[in-house]
Amino acid sequence: MATEVKVPTLGESVTEATVGAWLKKPGDAVALDEPIASLETDKVAVDVPSPVAGVLGQQLVKEGDTVNVGAIIATVEAGGVASAPAPAAASAASAPVAASVPAPAPVSSNTEDASSVTLSPAVRRLVLEHGLDPSSIKGTGRDGRLTKDDVMAAVAAGTAKAQGAAPAAPVAAAPTSAPTSSARAEERVKMTRLRQTVAKRLKSAQETAALLTTFNDVDMSAVIEARNTYKDLFEKKHGVRLGFMGFFTKAVCMALRDIPAVNAQIEGDEIVYHNYADISVAVSAPNGLVVPVIRNAETMSVAQIEKTIGDFGKKAKDGALTMEDMKGGTFTISNGGVFGSLMSTPIINPPQSAVLGLHRIEDRPVVRDGQIVIRPMMYLALSYDHRLIDGREAVTFLVAVKNAIEDPTRLLIDL
C-alpha cells in the first residue's frame, strides 16, 4: 500500500519551499523517519522524512520545483522490497548486447552507486564542486551520513576517489577535445531560495531605512592577553574554545542597555524598545549568509555565548539550522574579519535597526602616552537606521563597545 509523503510544516509564516535535492531514488529502501528529500525555504534547508519504512515509489516533483506546505511530493510503498538488484540483473541479461559498447555501462553504474549515498544539500554541493565519489568517504554524522567536515578532511588527506575515476581510466583519450570548447565556458545556475531571499531583504533594507555607518578602532591587546592567559583553562572547564565573539557579545549587551534606541525597531508609526538582547550572529553557510539568534544574550556568561555560537557554526556547515534558530533577533554582529576583511559597511537585518561589523586584527602604529607603539588594532563599523538612531547615540554606543573591549574588567564590574 502506497503512503503519501507530504511537505511538512515549515515554520511560522512559511508556506512554500523549493525542492533542493532528492536524497533517495525510486526503488530505494527507506527507514521510518529517514530523510528522502531536502527542501530549501527562505531561511534554512529542511529534510522531509519518510512516514513509513518501505521503498520509495514515485517522485511527483522535480528538483527545483516550488511546493506548498501539505503538498504530496512522493509515495512510499510500505514494507516493499527494494528494487536495487533489478537493474543489476537486467544489465547482466543484456551483457552480450552491451559488450560492443563497454564504455557507457561502467560510468552509469558508478553514478548510480554514488547517488545512492544520502547527502544533505551542503554536502552534496561540496561533493559536486570537488568531483568526488561520496561512497568512498567515511561518514561520521548521524546514521553514518556524511558531513561537510568529512568531505573536507577527505579532500585534505587525498583519500576520496574522484567521481567516475575508476571507469574513466580505459577511455582516457575522450577528454582531449574538452579544453578548446571550455576555454570561455559559461554556466547558468538558478539562485537558491535562500539567496533570492537574502537579495530581496538586503535591497529592501537599502530602500527603506536611512542607512548610515560610523567607524571606530579598538586596541585588542587586553582581550588577546586575557584569551592567551586563560584559553586552556577555559576550554578544560567549559569544553569550548575561548574566542573573541564572547567578549564582543557581552560588550554589545552592556552598550544596548545604555543606548536602548540601538536595540529598538520601527513598526508603523511606533518605536518598539526591547528590554532583552537577542543577538543575531551572521554565519556563513554553503548556500549563503544566515543569522541564527542567541536569545537573552544579556543573561549569558562568555562560556555560554561561545558554546551557543559554536553549535550554530556546526549546524550551519551541516545544513541543520532550524527555523526556530533563525527567528527574531534585535541586533546583529557580523564578523567579516574571519575572512580577512579590513573594513566594510554592513547592511542592517530588517526589522532590526543596527548591525556591528567586526574586521581583521592587524598590527598598526598608534600613539600611546606620546610614544608611537605597535598595537593589534581592529576597525569597528556600526551601520544603523538614521530614522530611529541619532548620530550621537550611534557614536556613544560604539565608544561603549570600544571601552569594554580595551578594558575587559568593565565587563566584570558592569561599567
Alpha-carbon separation of residue 366 from 217, 287, 337, 377 (angstroms): 11, 40, 20, 9
Between CA 45 and CA 34 the distance in angstroms is 15
Between CA 156 and CA 258 the distance in angstroms is 47
Q: Which of 33, 65, 258, 390 is catalytic?
A: 390
Q: Which of 33, 232, 386, 407 is catalytic?
A: 386
Cβ atoms within 10 Å of 286's Cβ, excluding its own = 21
Residue type, 188: R
Q: Report the SS3 class of residue 122.
A: helix
Sign of CA dihedral 332, 336, 342, 343: negative
Task: Decide if 327 contacts 321 (C-beta within 8 A).
Answer: no
Between CA 401 and CA 415 the distance in angstroms is 11
Peptide bond into 106 cis (omega under 30): no
**Residue 359 annotated to the active site:** no
Q: Report the SS3 class of residue 40.
A: strand
Residue type, 34: E
39 CB-side CA count, 13 A: 29
H or E stretch including 64? none
**Residue 386 annotated to the active site:** yes
Q: Which has the closest alpha carbon to 17: 50, 48, 56?
A: 48
Between CA 78 and CA 30 the distance in angstroms is 9
Cell matching residue 82: 527494494
Alpha-carbon separation of residue 73 from 37, 62, 288 (angstroms): 9, 9, 26
Which residues carry out catalysis?
386, 390
